[in-house]
């Protein structure tokens, strides 16, 4: 059932925003201008789909009224099936667009990848996962900035945190969080046995200062010489910054930059995003009974995916999807996989309709 009255309210709001965007007072206020543009960007797909739905509904009414007409009846009977199919598709698209918008969808993303069980092979797999996401980001025109990394002795990474910036990054990657499992023959395996290793992926929306307020009294900063590869300058400069959030015990260390100021800024950015994630998980726990399926699907302790290299097979265990083109997926061709996972989550959300509409004003 399409809520026409509420949709008409959104159409009126979209028209109102168009007028506001032409006013001098708005044009001279960057913050309000950004907010209105953001709201209009959210409203336009809904408004356009609703107008299409209205036009299709009108055409169907006209054709049904013309069924008994000797001249127009045959043409109407020929057109109706296609129009009804298009209307059904448009209604489903509208239902998806009307799902409550995640306020983080338009944000940039902190991608955290850590080696799990499996020793050096797990670290190599963690590095493979980062390259997979980095190649996908390149295909999408997103920017990737490594904020912090810890390399393993035999290659790969023990832990890596990267900031991915671009159009709707979090919306696209937010379901990637969880345990990723790999099955393959390590290069060091002389007898050709398949080993199983894991890596964990966390996807956090980048937190703005207004999202998470940090009180200086809650922070402890420790400065030390940077370690690891990077040349003499890195190893001898007291540029590494470790920040401890005293209320939660969260510790973030950044040492990739030679500048102490840059490392401090990066550490605070990571800390804010982790604190925002904790708060959002707390809110999710509070409504777990209402959206149990959604919360379970996003639990990072679950194994969400298996990458089987000998069979060139990838399986997403949440949605039961298997693709026999792992070589292409690991090379950054993630669109089919991410679209399928996103569609599954949308279908789950449609089972629990919500009256909240995108862009609606309180």
Is the pLDDT at 290 greater than 50? The verdict is: no
pLDDT of 356 above 60: no
Q: What is the dihedral of CA 268, 269, 270, 271, to 10 degrees?
A: 40
Q: Quick one: which of 163, 135, 158 has its CA closest to 147?
A: 163
The two structure tokens encoding residue 342: 């996103």
pLDDT in tens, 165-193: 998 899 999 999 999 999 999 876 767 78
Q: Which residues contact 54 (CB under 8 A, 6 or more apart)?
A: none
Evaluate if residue 334 carries a pLDDT over 60: yes
Residues 6+ apart with CB under 8 A from 154: 120, 123, 124
Q: Which ranges constitute the DSSP H helices of 66-195?
A: 73-97, 119-140, 169-173
The stretch 212-241 carries a mean pLDDT of 67
Largest CA distance in the chain: 91
What beta strand segments (E) does the chain contain?
109-115, 143-151, 157-165, 178-184, 195-205, 219-224, 240-245, 250-254, 303-308, 313-316, 321-323
Share of the chain above pLDDT 90, in %: 43
* pLDDT over 50 (residue 294): no
DSSP annotation of 298? T
Model confidence band, residue 300 (pLDDT cutoffs 50, 70, 90): very low
The Cα–Cα gap between 306 and 66 comes to 56
The pLDDT mean for the chain works out to 83
Domains and CATH numbers, the chain: 4-97 (1.20.58), 109-206+304-350 (3.30.70.1660), 216-284 (3.30.160.20)
pLDDT greater than 50 at residue 297: no
- How confident is the model over 321-344, as a mean pLDDT? 95
* Of 39, 48, 41, 35, residue with least CA distance to 7: 48
- Going by pLDDT thresholds of 50, 70 and 90, the confidence category of residue 302 is low
Identify which of 158, 167, 170 has the alpha carbon closest to the alpha carbon of residue 130. 158
Put simply, whether the predicted model's pTM sits higher than 0.85 gets the answer no
Q: What's the rounded Cα separation, in Å, for the pair 50 and 190?
A: 62
pLDDT of 209: 53
Three-state secondary structure along 179-229? Answer: EEEEEECCCCCCCCCCEEEEEEEEEEECCCCCCCCCCHHHEEEEEECCCCC
User: Under a CB-based contact definition with an 8 Å cutoff, are residues 199 and 125 in contact?
Assistant: yes
Q: Summarize pLDDT for 24-68 with one digit per residue, the tens.
A: 999 999 889 988 998 898 889 999 999 999 999 999 999 999 888
Most confident stretch, 40-49, 128-137, 274-283: 128-137
Confidence of residue 234 (pLDDT cuts 50, 70, 90): very low
């Amino acid at each position: 059932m399409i809520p026409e009255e509420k949709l008409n309210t959104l159409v009126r709001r979209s028209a109102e925003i168009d007028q506001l965007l032409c006013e001098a007072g708005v044009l001279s206020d960057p913050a309000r201008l950004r907010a209105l543009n953001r709201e209009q960007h959210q409203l336009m797909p809904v408004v356009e789909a609703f107008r299409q739905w209205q036009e299709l509904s009108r055409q169907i009414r006209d054709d049904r009224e013309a069924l008994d007409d000797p001249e127009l009846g045959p043409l109407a009977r020929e057109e109706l099936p296609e129009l009804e199919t298009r209307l059904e598709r448009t209604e489903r698209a509208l239902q998806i667009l009307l799902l409550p918008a995640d306020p983080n969808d338009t944000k940039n993303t902190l991608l955290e990848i850590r080696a799990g069980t499996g020793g050096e092979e797990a670290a190599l797999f963690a590095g493979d996962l980062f390259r997979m996401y980095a190649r996908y980001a390149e295909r999408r025109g997103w920017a990737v900035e490594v904020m912090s990394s810890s390399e393993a002795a035999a290659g790969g990474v023990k832990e890596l945190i990267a900031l991915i910036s671009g159009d709707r990054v979090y919306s696209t990657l937010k379901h990637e969080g969880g345990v990723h499992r790999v099955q393959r023959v390590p290069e060091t395996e002389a007898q050709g046995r398949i080993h199983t290793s894991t890596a964990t992926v966390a996807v956090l929306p980048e937190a703005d200062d207004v999202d998470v307020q940090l009180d200086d009294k809650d922070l402890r900063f420790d400065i030390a010489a940077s370690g690891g590869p990077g040349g003499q300058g890195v190893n001898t400069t007291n540029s590494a910054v470790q920040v401890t959030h005293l209320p939660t015990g969260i510790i973030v260390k950044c040492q990739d930059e030679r500048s102490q100021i840059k490392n401090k800024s990066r550490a605070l950015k990571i800390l804010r995003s982790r604190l925002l994630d904790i708060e959002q998980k707390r809110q999710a726990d509070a409504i777990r009974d209402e959206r149990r399926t959604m919360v379970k699907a996003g639990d990072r302790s679950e194994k969400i995916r298996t990458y089987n290299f000998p069979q060139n097979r990838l399986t997403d265990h949440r949605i039961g999807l298997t693709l026999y083109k792992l070589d292409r997926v690991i090379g950054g061709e993630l669109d089919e996989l991410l679209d399928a996972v996103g569609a599954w989550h949308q279908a789950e959300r449609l089972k629990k309709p919500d009256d909240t509409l995108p862009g609606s004003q309180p």
